Structure 1
C-alpha cells in the first residue's frame, strides 16, 4: 500500500510546478451506466487517485498558488443514510479530514460555488494534467511493489492457462480460468479486457470476442494482466493448445523470443524507445527473410514499410496506474524522452500472418505470436519484473507435460 505521506509529497511536488497566481481543478471519474439503472464497476480517475489515494466518485480537487503560497482543497460527498443504503458507505467530510493532509476538506455541494468564486481571481493552469503525467513517468518504490504484486498474480494466471486442458474447450473458458485467478488472489479487476486469441484470431491485435473453440494444433495468444490496488500488469504469452509446438510454430516463436530477449538486454538509462523500435524491426525483418516470409534486402523492406504487414505495432509503452500509462514520450520541445531509472515499460515484439496470406510459406499461415514482458529501468540496466512467467518453448511444454502426467 502507498502511505498517505507519499500522496502528500506528490501534491507538494505538483504545487511547486503550478504557475503562480493560478489554480488547478481535478474531478473524480464519473459513474458509467451499463444499461438502464445498472452501472459498470467504478474506478477512480488515475490522476485523481495519484494525488489522493481517494476512491470515491463525486469528488473534486482544487489547488491554488497565490504569491508563491499554496492551498489545497478536497471535496467529498456528504454521508447520507439513504445513499449509503443503496451504494455503500461513504468516508464523509470528518473522516476525510483525518485521513488526508489537505488544507481544507469540504462537501461536494460546495465545489461549484467555490470554483466560481476562485475563477474571478485566478486563471486556470492548462499544464496541470501534463505535469502530473510527467510525474507518473518515474515510479516510487511503493508503486513498483504494487506493480510486482500485480505481475505475480498474473504469473499464476498464465501458468494456470498453460496447464489447463484446452483441447475442444472454448476461448472464454480459458479467459474464465485466468480471471478466476485474478479475483482469487486479491485483484479487483483485470487491467484491460483479456485477449484469448486462438489460431487465426491472434492476427487481430485487439481481439476480445473470445468465443472460438480451441483446436488441437493451434496456438493461443493470451494477452492478459490484472490490476492490483490500481496498478497494472501487461503480459502476453503464446502457447500451444495441445501442449506441443509444431515445427513451424517453433520456428516463428523462436524468432520472436530471440528478438524480445535482445531488445530487453538493450534497456538502460539514456536509451531511446525509438532505438528499441528500430532494432526490433531490423531483427524481426531479418528473421522473416530467413524464413521466406519476406523477400529482399532488409533495409529496403523496412524503408518501404513492408515489414509492418507482419509487425504493425510499437515495441512497447509506459505502464503504471494505467496499462498504457498516461505519461509523455516527448518533452516540451518535442524531443523524445530517454529512459530513466524508475520508468516501467512493456516490450512486446510479434509476428502476425493471416491464414489467407498466400505470399508466405503455407506452414506459417494462420499463426500469430506475441511475447510481452514488463521491464523496470534501473540505475545502470534493467529488471524484467515478469521474468518468472514461463516463455521458453521448453518451459511451456514441460509445464504442460508435468500437469498432464499428474492427472
Structure 2
C-alpha cells in the first residue's frame, strides 16, 4: 500500500524538470535595454524630499508603497500606492507594489533617497514563468533597477536588501516609518527597534509610536500647498471629469430605458475616467430621486425617472493619482421643476458665497461660514427653522445648528492625491489655518429634504441638491478648476439641451 500524500489546495501544475525550465528560458528576443528619460515629475520631487529631510535631520525615514491586497481568494485588487510614497517618489497609477522609499541620512547633512523595489526577474528564474502575482508571464514586465533610477533620478536597490539597510546602525540612527502604508514593513521596523533595545519600556514604545505618527502627519500636511506641477495635474483631472459628465448626459436616455440607471451612469463615468487617467478617484455617488438625500449613496442601484433629479458626485483620478471631485445635480428630464429650481438656486447662491471666500488671508473655515449663512437664510425665509430661531441663532455653534437637519456636512475639504487630502493635518493646520496660494479645496454646499421629512414642505420632499467645484487659491483670489462644467440652473438646462437635443 502506497504512502498517503499530504493534502494540498494548490491546483496549478508547474513542471519542475530541468529540461522544461531551460526550454522556457531560451528563444526570446533581446529585451529593449534603452533607459527612459527622466520623468517630468522628477523635476519636482527633490524639493519635496528636501523639505521632508529638513524636518527630520539625521533620521532614517521609511515610506512604503504598500503591498497587493487580496480581493477574493487568489485575486488581488488593482494596486494603488500609498499617497506619501507616491508624493515623494513621483510614482503613480499601479506602481510599485512592495516598494519602499528610504531617506538615508548623510553624514554631512541631508538625506539620500533610495528606492527599494522588486525589479524585473531574469527569464531563467522561477518568478518569470511560475509566479502568478509578480511574474512577467502573468502581469507583464517590471522595471529594472537601472530603468527606475533613470526615470526617477534616484538610487535604486533590490527590495531584498531592505531589512539589512533598516538595521544598519540601529540604535545610533533614529528610525521612523509611515506605519499604515505596509504592515510587513512596519513589522520589520519594529523588529529592528526591538533588537536594538529601543522599545524595551512602555515609555520607549510610546515615544516611537509618536515619532511614526509625526512622520505620517508631516507627510500629509506637506501636501496642503500644491506646486505648479500638482496644480496642472488637478486641471487635467478636472478636464477629464468634465468630459465624463458630458458622456453621462449623452447616455441619460439609455440609462432611463434600461432600468437600474444609477449603475449605468456609474459605468459611463467610470469608462471615461479609466480611459482618461487611472480611474475614478473615489466611488461615484450616482443618486437619483430620494437617494440624493443619502450623502454617501454608492450602492447606485436605483432607476432614473423623468421628474427626478440625479445627483452625480464623481471625479477622475489621473495617472499621477491627483483626483477631481465635482458634483452636479441634473434634472433627468432636462428641466427643473419650480420646487427643484428654488432649492437649486439657493444651493448655487450658497456655493458662490463660499467660492468668494476662497482668498488668501481668509481662513479655511470662513468658506463654510459664508456658504452656510446663505443656506440658513433660505431655510429661515422658507419658514423651516423652529419658531423664534433666526439666522444668527441657528448659526450659533453651541445653542443653534437647526439648519443642519437639511445641510449636515461641511462645505469644504482639501483635495489632491486623496479626495479628502491632508486628512492627518492638525486642526490648526487645516480648519483654523489661513488659506495660502497653491491650496486646492472643494466648495460643496447642499440641501437635502428626505422623502419622509414631515417638517419639509411637501413639494420639497425627496429632493436633494449639491453643487461642488474644485478651487485653487491664487495670489489674488482663486481659480475654479472645474468651471468648465456648467453650474447655474439655466446653464445646466442649456448644457443638457445642447447634448441631448430632442433625445431627452
| Aligned twin of 1:189 | 279
Deviation at 1:257, TM superposition (A): 0.3
Deviation at 1:341, TM superposition (A): 0.3
**Closer, same or farther in 2 for the Cα pair 1:79/1:334, shift >3 Å?**
closer
Gaps of 5+ in 2: 1-38, 122-127, 130-134, 177-210
Q: What is the distance in 2 between the residues matched to 1:326 and 1:357? A: 35
Aligned counterpart for 1:232 among listed residues 314, 319, 323: 323
Equivalent residues in 2 for 1:354-373 (5 A)? 354-373=450-469
The structure whose Rg is larger is 2
Q: 1:157, 1:181 within 8 Å by CA — same for their partners in 2? A: yes
Q: Secondary structure at the match of 1:119?
A: coil
Determine whether 1:315 maps to 2:411.
yes
Q: 1:136, 1:327 within 8 Å by CA — same for their partners in 2? A: no
Q: Secondary structure at the match of 1:111?
A: helix
Q: Secondary structure at the match of 2:63?
A: strand
| Aligned twin of 2:51 | 13
Aligned counterpart for 1:386 among listed residues 473, 482, 504: 482
Q: 2:364, 2:430 within 8 Å by CA — same for their partners in 1? A: no
**Closer, same or farther in 2 for the Cα pair 1:405/1:282, shift >3 Å?**
closer
Determine whether 1:78 maps to 2:136.
no
Q: Secondary structure at the match of 1:223?
A: strand
Deviation at 1:337, TM superposition (A): 1.4
Deviation at 1:327, TM superposition (A): 5.3
Q: 1:355, 1:367 within 8 Å by CA — same for their partners in 2? A: yes
Report which stretch shifted further, 297-306 or 244-253: 297-306
Q: What is the distance in 1 between the residues matched to 2:375 and 2:480? A: 21
| Aligned twin of 1:150 | 237
Gaps of 5+ in 1: none
| Aligned twin of 1:98 | 150
Report which stretch shifted further, 196-205 or 393-402: 393-402
Q: 1:350, 1:369 within 8 Å by CA — same for their partners in 2? A: yes
Larger relative contact order, structure 1 or 2 (CA cutoff 8 Å, min sep 6)? 1
**Closer, same or farther in 2 for the Cα pair 1:335/1:237, shift >3 Å?**
closer
Deviation at 1:64, TM superposition (A): 3.0
Aligned counterpart for 1:301 among listed residues 394, 414, 417: 394
Aligned counterpart for 1:268 among listed residues 355, 359, 362: 359
Determine whether 1:129 maps to 2:227.
no
**How many aligned positions are there?**
404
What is the TM-score normalised by the length of structure 2? 0.76
Deviation at 1:134, TM superposition (A): 2.6
Deviation at 1:406, TM superposition (A): 5.4
Deviation at 1:256, TM superposition (A): 0.1
Question: What do residues 368-393 of structure 1 show as CA deviations (whole Å, max 9, x unaligned)?
Answer: 11000000000010011111101111
Hey, which of these two has a bigger chunk of strand by percent?
1
Report which stretch shifted further, 331-340 or 106-115: 331-340
Deviation at 1:282, TM superposition (A): 1.6
Deviation at 1:188, TM superposition (A): 2.1
Q: What is the distance in 1 between the residues matched to 2:310 and 2:326? A: 14
**Closer, same or farther in 2 for the Cα pair 1:329/1:70, shift >3 Å?**
closer
Q: What is the distance in 2 between the residues matched to 1:6 and 1:277? A: 32
Determine whether 1:199 maps to 2:300.
no
Determine whether 1:113 maps to 2:150.
no
Report which stretch shifted further, 264-273 or 57-66: 57-66
Q: Secondary structure at the match of 1:322?
A: coil
**Closer, same or farther in 2 for the Cα pair 1:379/1:312, shift >3 Å?**
same
Question: What do residues 100-130 of structure 1 show as CA deviations (whole Å, max 9, x unaligned)?
Answer: 333x421001101221224332112423333
**Closer, same or farther in 2 for the Cα pair 1:271/1:328, shift >3 Å?**
farther
Determine whether 1:58 maps to 2:98.
yes
Q: What is the distance in 1 between the residues matched to 2:497 and 2:87? A: 44
Q: What is the distance in 2 between the residues matched to 1:399 and 1:358? A: 34
Question: What do residues 179-208 of structure 1 show as CA deviations (whole Å, max 9, x unaligned)?
Answer: 222233x22210000100011101111000
| Aligned twin of 1:34 | 71
Q: 1:330, 1:336 within 8 Å by CA — same for their partners in 2? A: no
| Aligned twin of 2:197 | none
Q: What is the distance in 2 between the residues matched to 1:25 and 1:315? A: 35
